[in-house]
Structure 1
Amino acid sequence: MKGKMVFPLMVAGSLMLAACGDDGTDKEPEVEADATQTDDGTAATDETPTEDAAVGGSEDPDEPVSSDAADVTGQEEMQQKMDEINYTEFELEVEYADGKEYEAEIEKKSDNTVKAEIEDSLNGVKKKGLDAFNDLFPLVEQMDITTGTDKAEAIRQVLSTFSLPDDYTKFELELRFKDDGKEYEIEDRK
């Protein structure tokens, strides 16, 4: 998917550069305001991204694209993957006696955007967006919870899939099913 976005962005960047092309006069190239001149007459810039990098105009495929383009690519990827599972919403909160907790959420909203977030104080992990989605999606995809799944089985399945300890003090799970929009909620306290 990432490769599909890079080529059009490179073409667009090339066209913008061509539009700003040479008018035939021989004058010194202007140096950007944040650039400095080196001893050999070439421009040395600081690490501030230029317009070309922001629109993906770099020819280096490993160079990061702007966050806006990455956000769009990430949203498209997450939306496609969400269509593969039975849930439009998965929200999990597990609390433990020592004040630690594990929270995870994936939600495909009504405007088709996808929200993903992990707050895991057991392992010191906090992620949002595509990073969180990439960690959570394979786990949620493994789940086989339906509206008919009993509470004990759902809890066992979640704890096993997410490799969470079973000595929790509070367990909450909310699912919304893609097919009929029904919600499945369970709460358990020990």
Structure 2
Amino acid sequence: MKNILKLVPFLAVIMLAGCGDQDEVNNPPAENNTQTNNNETAAFSFKEFELDVDYKGTNQDYEVEYDTLEGKIEASIEDSINDKNLHGDEAMKELTPLFDQLTFNQDTPQAEVIQEVLKVFNLKDDYQEFDLEVTFEDGMKKQYEQHQ
């Protein structure tokens, strides 16, 4: 019993060290022809994409988070509608083809952005609340909100 108690702190340290950030992407998507301010190419026309669509009833939400800060990419999908939670590379694998379909830019009217995102992500338009925050490659941040 004493030997097991001695192992507990050691095992706790190992478990904490191995947990890391589960949203971090180790295999980022291939870059396309989108130019950044530093003449580098970026995978998408935005560096942050945070989507939260809430529907009536409990457990009827769809959330996406994609961030490219400080040289790291983090991605997650929390889809309580379809009981799916993906993080890191798994989330990025699902998000890449969806992000590739998005054509809006910072000048696109809000209604068009919302409709495009709903269509690309295959989400119903009977949401209670739609909230999207995007930071484009040039640093401009836009928020698209609609409550029904």
Return the TM-score normalized by structure 1.
0.58
1:141 deviation in Å? Answer: 1.7
Q: Matches of 2:66 and 2:143 in 1, distance apart?
A: 15
Match of 2:37?
Answer: none
RMSD: 2.0
Q: How does 1:96-111 map to 2 (within 5 A)?
A: 96-99=55-58, 100-109=60-69, 111=70
Match of 1:123?
Answer: 82
Match of 2:140?
Answer: 182
Match of 1:10?
Answer: none
The answer to whether the 8 Å contact 1:101/1:120 transfers is yes
Match of 2:132?
Answer: 173
What amino acid is aligned across from residue 104 of structure 1 in structure 2? V
Give the number of equivalent residue pairs. Answer: 117
- The structure number with the bigger radius of gyration is 1
The answer to whether the 8 Å contact 1:79/1:112 transfers is no
Q: Give the number of the structure with larger relative contact order, counting CA–CA contacts within 8 Å between residues 6 or more apart.
A: 2
Aligned partner of 1:93 among 25, 46, 52 = 52
Q: Matches of 1:154 and 1:96 in 2, distance apart?
A: 18
1:84 deviation in Å? Answer: 2.3
1:93 deviation in Å? Answer: 0.3
Deviation readout 1:85-131 (Å, 9 max, x if unpaired) = 1110111000001121000111111x210000000000000011000
Match of 1:78?
Answer: 28
What amino acid is aligned across from residue 147 of structure 2 in structure 1? R
Return the TM-score normalized by structure 2.
0.73
The answer to whether structure 1 residue 160 and structure 2 residue 110 are counterparts is: no
The answer to whether the 8 Å contact 1:104/1:119 transfers is yes
SS at match of 2:128: strand
Q: Which has the higher strand share?
A: 2
SS at match of 1:78: coil
Match of 1:150?
Answer: 109
1:145 deviation in Å? Answer: 1.4
Q: Which has the higher helix share?
A: 1
Deviation readout 1:3-58 (Å, 9 max, x if unpaired) = xxxxxxxxxxxxxxxxxxxxxxxxxxxxxxxxxxxxxxxxxxxxxxxxxxxxxxxx
The answer to whether the 8 Å contact 1:93/1:173 transfers is yes
Q: Structure 2, unaligned stretches of length 5 or more? A: 1-17, 33-41
